[in-house]
């Protein structure tokens, strides 16, 4: 095979070298010359390839798999591929094969190779493939670095791939360093408290995160729960007790179901938000408080204002930043993604064998409208993990019946590019959710190669 040099003006940052594994020394030199814009190391057999790999930690490897009928050579090629992937599962191995050796090439892809090229190799195609492999390697390393950096970050408790929810996460991260009051709106069970906790963690406030449900406490007790009380303020007040606002001093206070806050307390809360001081029940001393307030409700506060059940001035104090959280039925792929995560957690906690979902269970989860949102899903998965007889949870275990989802109305739009992109995004996100993020399985499900799927992830900006 003859290979001519291919040059271009695009420079590539030479952080990690290219490893060329080729037993034909003449061809080895030609490959190195053709790829001279990449810093490269060479090897001619399994032992030298492993040695050079450990020495240089290459990001990309080109490797001749061997030609039939020399089956021993092919076996050595697979052995080499296996060892390199063991050393670094993220390395991008480009396999060079004979024209009639597609079966072995596909086997190499199944083992984890990045791509394959048939010989004789076009130098421009080889150079472009190597460059793409480098870019993908760097992208994955950067993603991993960011994940490690933020492993305990604000959104650590939130599991999503939905574009709308990811946008909300970015909003929370932007707002967190400020002291702005945040109002979280959304149906019951959509994850308002998870986002509130994430906001607190991202703010790096040194105080505690404290939550109180305004609907769960009787009106006559709610004032003392919020503002605290002095000793002797009322019958049974045997000692001075701090309220939730004071307990959260220096931290974050979440007022859940703020739509149920009595009108009498709405005025007192408004004064606190304006003055940032409180008076305990039965007390006369003004106590300065530094706390971030997060309100949350599933109710329509503007309707409450129109009906005279919620103060308009309090609403605008609370609504400095408003976050509308979409219901689970509107989050593409999140239902099965969350189901996988919940099932693994409960199977581990309860030491149960049922740790995966059958195809009918996945279809039923995707078809269900989830009126109770994430909380309903969590409860169903927990119950199913306990009641399932076998190793896998079925739709029957979940108490759901599989249905055919309705066609998205947006598919009727005439912008073909937008329609195609939406369809691709939904298919990719749904496939990733079904296989719990396994790239190889998702590629099989979508009927594309892994490199093609990686290109789709990059183009659609899906992480």
Please tell me the predicted confidence (pLDDT) of residue 277: 94
Please name the residues in contact with 378: beta carbons below 8 A apart, sequence gap of 6 or more. 338, 342
- Residue where a domain terminates, one of 303, 326, 349: 326
List, edge to edge, every strand of the sheet that includes 40-43: 40-43, 18-21, 60-64, 92-97, 115-118
CB contact set of 326 (below 8 Å; sequence gap of 6+): 162, 164, 165, 186, 190
Q: What is the DSSP letter of 281?
A: B
Same domain, 395 and 362: yes
Is the separation of the CB atoms in 137 and 90 below 8 Å?
yes
Residues 291 and 321 reside in one and the same domain:
yes
Classify residue 7: in a domain, yes or no: no
The CA distance from 212 to 222, in Å, is 10
The pLDDT score that the predictor gives to residue 149 is 47
- Of 306, 326, 346, the position where a domain reaches its end is 326
Examine the fold and report which residue of 326, 343, 368 is the final residue of a domain before the chain moves on. Answer: 326
Do the domain assignments include residue 6?
no
CATH code of residue 307: 3.40.50.300
The model carries a pTM of 0.59
- Based on the fold, state whether residues 179 and 283 are members of the same structural domain: yes
In this structure, is residue 454 part of a structural domain? Answer: yes
For residues 161 and 278, state if they share a domain: yes
Q: Which domain holds residue 363?
A: 329-459
Q: Are residues 187 and 231 in the same domain?
A: yes
| Residues 33 and 131 grouped into a single domain | yes
Question: Count of domains in the chain?
Answer: 3
The answer to whether 273 and 319 have CB atoms below 8 angstroms apart is no
* Residue 5, pLDDT score: 36
Secondary structure letter of residue 23 according to DSSP? S
- Written as six digits, the tokens of 396 are 């029957």
Query: What is the DSSP secondary-structure string of 146-199?
Result: HHHHTTTSGGGG-----HHHHHHHHHHHHHTTS---EEEE--TTS-HHHHHHHH
Q: Is residue 2 part of a domain?
A: no
| Long-range contact set of residues 417-423: C-beta below 8 Å, sequence gap at least 24 | 421/460
> Are 171 and 131 in the same domain?
no
Please report, in tens digits, the pLDDT of each residue of the chain (463 residues total): 333 333 343 433 445 789 999 888 888 888 888 888 888 899 888 888 888 898 888 999 998 876 434 556 678 888 888 889 888 888 999 998 876 778 888 888 888 899 988 888 888 888 899 999 998 988 888 777 665 544 434 455 688 888 889 899 989 989 999 999 999 999 999 999 999 999 998 888 889 999 999 999 998 899 999 999 999 888 888 899 999 999 999 999 999 999 999 998 999 999 999 999 999 999 889 999 999 999 999 999 999 999 999 999 999 999 999 999 999 999 988 999 999 989 988 888 877 777 788 888 888 998 899 999 999 999 999 999 888 887 888 888 898 864 433 333 333 444 677 778 888 888 888 888 888 888 888 888 888 888 888 888 888 878 7
The whole-number pLDDT of residue 406 equals: 37
Predicted confidence at residue 452, as pLDDT, reads 85
Is the same domain home to 133 and 59? yes
């Amino acid at each position: 095979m003859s290979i001519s040099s291919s040059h271009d003006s695009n420079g590539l940052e030479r952080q990690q070298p290219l490893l060329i594994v080729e037993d034909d020394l003449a061809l080895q030199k030609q490959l190195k010359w053709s790829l001279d814009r990449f810093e490269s190391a060479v090897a001619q057999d399994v032992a030298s390839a492993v040695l050079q790999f450990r020495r240089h930690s290459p990001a990309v490897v080109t490797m001749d798999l061997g030609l039939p009928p020399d089956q021993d050579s092919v076996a050595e090629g697979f052995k080499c591929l296996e060892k390199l992937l063991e050393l670094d599962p993220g390395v991008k191995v480009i396999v060079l094969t004979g024209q009639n050796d597609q079966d072995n090439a596909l086997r190499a892809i199944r083992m984890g190779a990045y791509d394959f090229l048939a010989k004789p190799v076009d130098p421009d195609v080889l150079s472009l493939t190597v460059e793409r492999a480098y870019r993908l390697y760097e992208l994955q390393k950067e993603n991993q670095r960011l994940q490690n950096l933020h492993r305990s970050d604000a959104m650590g408790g939130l599991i999503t791939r939905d574009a709308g929810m990811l946008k909300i996460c970015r909003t929370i991260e932007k707002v967190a360093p400020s002291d702005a009051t945040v109002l979280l709106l959304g149906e019951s069970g959509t994850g308002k408290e998870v986002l509130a906790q994430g906001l607190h963690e991202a703010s790096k406030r040194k105080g505690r995160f404290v939550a109180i449900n305004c609907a769960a406490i009787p009106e006559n007790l709610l004032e003392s729960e919020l503002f605290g009380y002095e000793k002797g303020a009322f019958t049974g007040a045997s000692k001075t007790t701090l309220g939730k606002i004071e307990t959260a001093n220096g931290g974050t206070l979440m007022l859940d179901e703020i739509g149920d806050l009595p009108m009498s307390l709405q005025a007192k809360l408004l004064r606190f938000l304006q003055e940032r001081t409180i008076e305990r029940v039965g007390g006369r001393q003004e106590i300065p408080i530094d706390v971030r307030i997060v309100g949350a409700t599933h109710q329509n506060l503007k309707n409450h204002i129109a009906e005279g059940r919620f103060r308009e001035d309090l609403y605008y104090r609370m609504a400095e930043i408003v976050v509308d959280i979409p219901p689970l039925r509107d989050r593409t792929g999140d239902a099965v993604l969350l189901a996988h995560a919940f099932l693994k957690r409960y199977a581990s906690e309860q030491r149960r064998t049922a740790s995966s979902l059958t195809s009918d269970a996945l279809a039923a989860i995707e078809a269900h409208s989830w009126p109770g949102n994430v909380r309903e899903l969590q409860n169903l998965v927990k119950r199913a993990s306990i009641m399932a007889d076998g190793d896998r949870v079925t739709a029957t275990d979940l108490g759901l019946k599989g249905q055919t989802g309705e066609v998205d109305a947006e598919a009727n739009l005439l912008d073909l590019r937008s329609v195609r992109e939406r369809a691709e995004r939904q298919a990719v996100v749904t496939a990733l959710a079904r296989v719990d993020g396994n790239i190889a399985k998702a590629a099989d499900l979508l009927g594309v190669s892994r490199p093609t799927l990686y290109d789709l992830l990059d183009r659609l900006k899906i992480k």
